Structure 1
Amino acid sequence: MTDEKLSLPEKAVMITLMAEAREVSNPELKQRYGLTLDGKSRTHLNDLRFVSSRRQGRAFAHLLEDRGWAWCVGHLGAELPPRSGSAAGALYAVLANLPRHLDRAGLSLADVFHRDEDAPAPAPAPVAAVPAPRTAPAPAADDTEARIRAAYADLADAPGAWVSLTLIRADLADLPRADVDRTLRHMYRLPDVHIVPESNQKSLSTVDRAAAVIIGDQEKHLLAIGNR
């Protein structure tokens, strides 16, 4: 994913979609930022699987995909393109210094730019009621982390064995990808969870690459849970 693959307007759209962290239509891009993604540039970014686009009425709407996030991560600290202007220079200064904060806080770009509506809703305040009998505990919540752990247990040969995220995602196909990614990033910080890149990158299929989760500045493809 080298800079030469993208024109300056394509880079600008990528960074804007990263900052918005949501689907944005061409009319909104034009109105708010003076940008559009049409024609060959749209086809280019779609073919690279950096951006997905769909028709929204008479216009296209665009969403930054995982590979696009990975490009943005790799672009942090890149040299300012020639004839970029002072505004672009200020933007590149911000991007170049973001890694300092990310490293200190243990965050990814997706953590920084995620929108509030993507976060899990807070649990409702408890309502006063007659206490349930101690012999009748409430059932465990079927949350995303529990689903991931259950899928791993079904697929792994033993605790701590590596399982491809391609297989994990296939088992969780009914869950929104954003929820699974967010939970994997949370689990990455847990002591019994290990999420790593595939060391033999040539062995990865297109499906394997698409199933990767971006954590920090890497695409990670394998999950292990338990002692290793």
Structure 2
Amino acid sequence: MLNNPVWASLTGPQACFAEAAGDAARYLPEIAPFCALRDPGDPAGWRDLATLTDFALLTGPSITPLAGWETESVMHGRQMIGQSMTGVEDPEAVLLTEHDVPEMLELVARSQPGPFRKRTIDLGRYLGIRDGAGRLIAMAGERLRMPGWTEVSAVCTDPEFRGQGLGARLTMAVAAGILARGELPFLHVVSDNESAIRLYERLGFEHSNEVVFAAFRVAR
């Protein structure tokens, strides 16, 4: 499952957020931009994917487009798992709801943690920390979910408040909720983000797989 987490999520616990066709699936556009193939090496899956969308963001250890698709961009990353870690709840973390989405989208725009859309919050539990004026300054939450595993995602802090450990605290708080359900946390990080990798290692995450985040478009 960890080798193809989006497919495992879209055909498992998060099937209610999926559009599917044969051996391809994607999240509803307002939820997340990710697509998945049962087997990226099978031409049938790529043909099925073309019936769902002409643009696809895929992730996995290695993905090479087959006939009819061309590569737009590739970003290298790491998958890390919290198989032996212990989460810690944070008394200052507040549960974020759909009413907080406008603020969450503004924070994402300022901090650029990766894809986050207006209904991404539907995928799981999101926690935030506010400053003395009540402004949302940091958040983290759950995104991909497959049997036994939930992804920690959207870990971000307003640039004005970085260096205070807020992201680490929220990562551990989100992980605590995942572990309390009897599941294990995992996450993805861009390979050249060395400071984030060191932080996640200190929190107890271990290297699992090298992955790519690759965007493809139907060839003209």
Higher RCO (C-alpha under 8 Å, 6+ residues apart): 2
TM-score by length of 1: 0.23
Q: Which has the larger radius of gyration?
A: 1
**Quick check: which one's strand share is greater?**
2
- Structure with the higher helix share, 1 or 2: 1
